[in-house]
């Protein structure tokens, strides 16, 4: 079976799909990842073959500018931020659609597998009558993103003779039962298996400690590309969180950490390290509530304080807070407020107990290896047949 995996050129979108791609290859299937040329090195670094669906595509080009390259005004509130982000994924698909169509024509996959916000893959699959499945990558189904993305893709949809974005033949749902809200699973369930890229065990992870350790991150994108001073915010948060009774490690790209002359007192380390591994030696995650960060903490039973900034981060934060595994704060919460929330979560055992219970739910879900036969049946089934 040939499986074409399509992804946006961002670590947080691609990395959650890597364990499933590995499972497919281990079962003897061919997997090819379609993405912009600027991201093919990341794909190759995960041990997977890549095909360029477009030349270099910078994050700012599709997220902060319109189709003609004009800067977009900053969103005024969280709802507008999410809508603006949703339209950006439509602009990205418009950039990669022609290349994705060519890859499908040349390689002839039996199945297209896409992460939820990559739309060119599903359009190319529909155009060629190939079944496609959506691989869940987080707590959100990104349902409110499809409307704005469809508006942005109106010219491409008209050219392909499609009135709307095609629906998947199935969705692999990685949410544990307690984080599905009031509804059932969106499709077959699959265990979320974290992947962070190159994994070198941090030296500080094995050091003995006598006080709680907090992992602080705002993800890989905000400190580098966010409109606000997220670099400065990280240092300010670290200063507020670190003290005589806690220590802090900051997960951030090395180029951001290298720009800091010195770290605040009480900060043990800063730089890029595998969050999945690092959280095994931490007692709390303070983050923006991004899907990868939040799920890594959920997998390891680590309680959280979420400071959402954009897109699905607000939904993730609310779900985690509602589950009892952490707290959700406003995006502009003060440093002292964040520090007080961290003390609250660390000081109440119920948060850690609930986080560990959620980790148990995740561990009991079928692994990516277990869902490979389902994808095999989908690829082999006649169009429209139940699998």
Residue 301 carries which DSSP code? T
User: Is-contact 265 258, C-beta < 8 A?
Assistant: no
Note the pLDDT tens digit of each residue in 244-256.
788 998 888 777 7
pLDDT at 376: 97
Confidence grade of residue 184 (pLDDT, cut at 50, 70, 90): confident
Q: 260-267, long-range: CB within 8 Å, 24+ apart, which pairs? A: 260/231, 260/235, 263/238, 264/235, 264/238, 264/239, 266/238, 266/242, 267/238, 267/242
pLDDT at 360: 97
By residue count, the chain amounts to 387
Confidence grade of residue 262 (pLDDT, cut at 50, 70, 90): confident
pLDDT at 75: 77
Q: Which residue has the higher pLDDT, 228 or 250?
A: 250
pLDDT at 221: 61
DSSP 181-213: TTS--SSSB-------SS----GGGGS--SS-E
Question: How far apart (Å, rounded) are the C-alpha atoms in residues 318 and 182?
Answer: 14
Question: How far apart (Å, rounded) are the C-alpha atoms in residues 134 and 357?
Answer: 27
Mean local confidence (pLDDT), 170-183: 90
pLDDT at 163: 85
pLDDT at 245: 87
Query: Which residue is associated with the tokens 């947080």?
Result: 12
Q: Which CATH number fits domain 203-363: 3.40.50.720, 3.40.50.450, 3.40.50.2000, 3.40.50.1100?
A: 3.40.50.2000
Return the closest-CA partner of residue 301 out of 361, 344, 217: 361
Mean local confidence (pLDDT), 238-265: 82
pLDDT tops 80 at residue 182: no
Residues in CB range of 73: below 8 A, 6 or more apart: none
Confidence grade of residue 167 (pLDDT, cut at 50, 70, 90): very high
Give the chain's mean pLDDT: 90
Question: How far apart (Å, rounded) are the C-alpha atoms in residues 149 and 138?
Answer: 19
Q: Which residue has the higher pLDDT, 270 or 16?
A: 16
| Residue 259, token pair as written in the block | 């720009």
Confidence grade of residue 223 (pLDDT, cut at 50, 70, 90): low
Q: Which residue has the higher pLDDT, 33 or 141?
A: 33
Question: How far apart (Å, rounded) are the C-alpha atoms in residues 342 and 335?
Answer: 11
pLDDT at 368: 97
Domain boundaries, the chain: 2-192+365-380, 203-363
Q: What is the largest CA-CA distance in the chain?
A: 64
pLDDT tops 60 at residue 225: no
pLDDT tops 70 at residue 227: no
Q: Are strands 213-217 and 284-287 parallel, antiparallel or unpaired?
A: parallel
User: Is-contact 27 2, C-beta < 8 A?
Assistant: no
Mean local confidence (pLDDT), 181-196: 89
| SS3 label, residue 285 | strand
Mean local confidence (pLDDT), 3-26: 96
pLDDT at 40: 96
Residues in CB range of 297: below 8 A, 6 or more apart: 279, 285, 287, 303, 304, 355
Mean local confidence (pLDDT), 364-371: 97
Q: How far apart are the first and last CA of the chain?
A: 16
pLDDT at 22: 98
Note the pLDDT tens digit of each residue in 294-315.
999 999 999 999 999 877 889 9
Residue 16 carries which DSSP code? G
pLDDT at 220: 64
CATH number for the domain running over 2-192+365-380: 3.40.50.2000
pLDDT tops 90 at residue 350: yes
Mean local confidence (pLDDT), 9-15: 92
User: What's the pTM?
Assistant: 0.91
Least confident of 2-11, 108-117, 141-150, 222-231: 222-231
Q: Are strands 2-6 and 30-36 parallel, antiparallel or unpaired?
A: parallel
Least confident of 45-59, 189-203, 355-369: 189-203
Note the pLDDT tens digit of each residue in 127-139.
999 999 999 999 9
The torsion angle over the Cα atoms of residues 171, 172, 176 and 178, rounded to 10 degrees, is: 10
Do domains 2-192+365-380 and 203-363 share one topology? The answer is: yes
């Amino acid at each position: 079976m040939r499986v074409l995996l399509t992804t946006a050129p961002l670590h947080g979108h691609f990395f959650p799909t890597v364990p499933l791609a590995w499972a497919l290859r281990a079962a003897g299937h061919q997997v090819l990842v379609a993405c912009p040329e600027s991201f093919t090195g990341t794909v190759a670094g995960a041990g997977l073959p890549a095909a360029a669906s477009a030349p270099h595509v910078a994050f700012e080009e599709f997220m902060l500018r319109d189709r003609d390259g004009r800067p977009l005004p900053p969103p005024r509130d969280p709802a507008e931020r999410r809508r603006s982000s949703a339209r950006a994924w439509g602009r990205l698909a418009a950039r990669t659609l022609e290349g994705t169509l060519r890859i499908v024509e040349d390689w002839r996959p039996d199945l297209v597998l896409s992460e939820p916000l990559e739309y060119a893959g599903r359009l190319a699959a529909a155009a060629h009558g190939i079944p496609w499945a959506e691989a869940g990558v987080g707590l959100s189904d990104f349902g409110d993103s499809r409307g704005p993305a469809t508006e942005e893709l109106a010219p491409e949809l008209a050219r392909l003779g499609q009135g709307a974005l095609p629906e998947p033949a199935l969705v692999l749902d990685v949410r544990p039962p307690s984080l599905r809200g009031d509804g059932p699973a969106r499709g077959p369930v699959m265990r979320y298996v974290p992947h962070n890229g190159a994994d070198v065990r941090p030296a500080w992870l094995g050091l003995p400690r006598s006080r709680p350790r907090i992992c602080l991150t705002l993800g890989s994108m905000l400190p580098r590309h966010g409109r606000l001073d997220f670099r400065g915010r990280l240092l300010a948060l670290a200063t507020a969180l670190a003290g005589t009774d806690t220590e802090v490690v900051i997960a951030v790209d090395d180029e951001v950490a290298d720009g800091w002359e010195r770290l605040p007192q009480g900060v043990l380390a800063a730089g890029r390290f595998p969050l999945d591994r690092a959280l095994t030696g931490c007692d709390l995650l303070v983050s923006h509530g991004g899907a990868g960060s939040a799920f890594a903490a959920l997998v390891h039973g680590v309680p959280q304080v979420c400071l959402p900034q954009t897109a699905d981060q607000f939904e993730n934060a609310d779900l985690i807070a509602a589950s009892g595994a952490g707290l959700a704060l406003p995006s502009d919460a003060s440093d002292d407020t964040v520090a007080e929330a961290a003390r609250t979560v660390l000081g109440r055992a119920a948060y850690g107990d609930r986080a560990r219970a959620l980790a148990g739910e995740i561990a009991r879900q079928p692994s990516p290896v277990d869902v490979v036969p389902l994808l095999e049946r989908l690829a082999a089934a006649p169009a429209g047949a139940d699998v």
